[in-house]
Amino acid sequence: MNADVIIIGGGLIGSTLALALARHELTSIVVDTADLEATTRAGFDGRASAVASASARMLGALGLGEVLEKHGCAIRGIRVTDGTAPQFLHFEAGEGDDPLGIMMENRLLRIALLAAVHETPEVTLVAPATVASLVRDAHAATVTLTDGRVFSAPLAIAADGRRSATRESAGIRLTGWSYPNAALVSMVAHTVPHGNVACELFYPSGPLALLPMVDSEDGRPRTAIVWTVDESVAAGARKLGPKALAAEIAARVDGTLGEIEVIAPQAVWPLGYHHAATYQAERLLLIGDAAHGIHPIAGQGLNMGFRDVAALAEVLVDAARTGQDLGAPDVLARYCAWRRFDNSVVGAVTDGLNKLFAVPGRLPAAVRRFGLAGVQRLGPLKSRFMAEARGETGQLPALLRGELV
């Protein structure tokens, strides 16, 4: 069986790419080792993601606007503080402006994506299935599965996540390191409304993010928690009961949320940074976490992947319309030129931010507070940060403007 592309990995990024290509009449075969229905069950991925406004516009253009409207919580403000110090940096979307982002449960996004994939004839989903070999030559990329099925296309795309076996077997080197901490993710209900404001509280032991969610079914305000903890305490944090965890969170948020109840079991994620030395090999491209992975401090990892999708879809649709070979080196190079620099910058800034706020001591804290107060007063710099949060910097592909190519 043949298609325009073979996508290895049907997670959030691989599925979105398949839909983006399908909306432009390009066909794909998506192969995933997991049973994707199982990845939509409660407990598989308890995370919530901040979907930047530009990413949300793309999802809307792909027909997924309903899930964001129904279950997404608009982020109207972002507040950054050094611990609970009174100086802070506050970004606010103006009245009538797009929100800075939309908080969404990953599980609900997965359900919507999978349903859309099933309804789209241009996408053939092959899962669960294991790739036995990927052979790439001057003519085609050919995937053979362990059950003997063979698929061929002009281009294979690795969307198989941070431990991408496809990237490894292509011999693509990786720059990367592990952070000495882990992210504890949970959800709380509380008595004081969040006001659609996302808070990032920086402590030397690691940042604590409070991310506004739509109210719980019983009408209480809800907030997603991403708490970066030292690796040495991660094992203990994993075992905290709901009451002890609520007390730990309450101690760090200074009463902002009122009474807190933990309403979801915590999950602990290891944190690291990685960036592939190249996104391109013969008839192969990397996207999403297969290409890059960053600290979740600024909630940008998934959005970087969405931006990869939008740029790659535009490059491939242009190439198809002008009759070019979708796997030709110069077509692949266009995608890499578009995305590598942006991903490098976001990765470096995120890493720097994490390290800057991790320096202990009173002098670094004073410098940080001075810096926060300074940025707060500098209009153009604030506008730049807001554009970054919305995902609206750089050369925007059509999909991120909410348009099909």
Question: Would you say 207 or 327 has its CB closer to ligand FAD?
Answer: 207
Please, which of residues 130-169 interact with ligand FAD by CB under 6 A? 131, 159-161, 165
Rounded Cα gap, residues 296 and 271, in angstroms? 8
Question: Would you say 273 or 357 has its CB closer to ligand FAD?
Answer: 273
Site string for ligand FAD, 198-237 (x = CB under 6 A): ----------------------------x-----------
Selected binder of ligand FAD within 207, 221, 288, 327 (CB under 6 A): 288
Shortest distance, position 48 Cβ to ligand FAD, whole Å: 7
Shortest distance, position 9 Cβ to ligand FAD, whole Å: 3
Selected binder of ligand FAD within 3, 14, 264, 320 (CB under 6 A): 14
Site size with ligand FAD, rule: CB under 6 A: 32
Rounded Cα gap, residues 327 and 334, in angstroms? 11
Question: 238 CB contacts (<8 Å, ≥6 apart)?
Answer: 184, 266, 268
Shortest distance, position 13 Cβ to ligand FAD, whole Å: 3
327 binds ligand FAD (CB under 6 A): no
Shortest distance, position 325 Cβ to ligand FAD, whole Å: 24
Please, which of residues 58-117 interact with ligand FAD by CB under 6 A? none
What are the beta bridge partners of residue 211? Answer: 224
Rounded Cα gap, residues 53 and 36, in angstroms? 26
What are the beta bridge partners of residue 208? Answer: 201, 227
List residues binding ligand FAD (CB under 6 A): 8-14, 31-34, 47, 49-50, 131, 159-161, 165, 183, 185, 226, 269, 288-289, 296, 299-303, 305
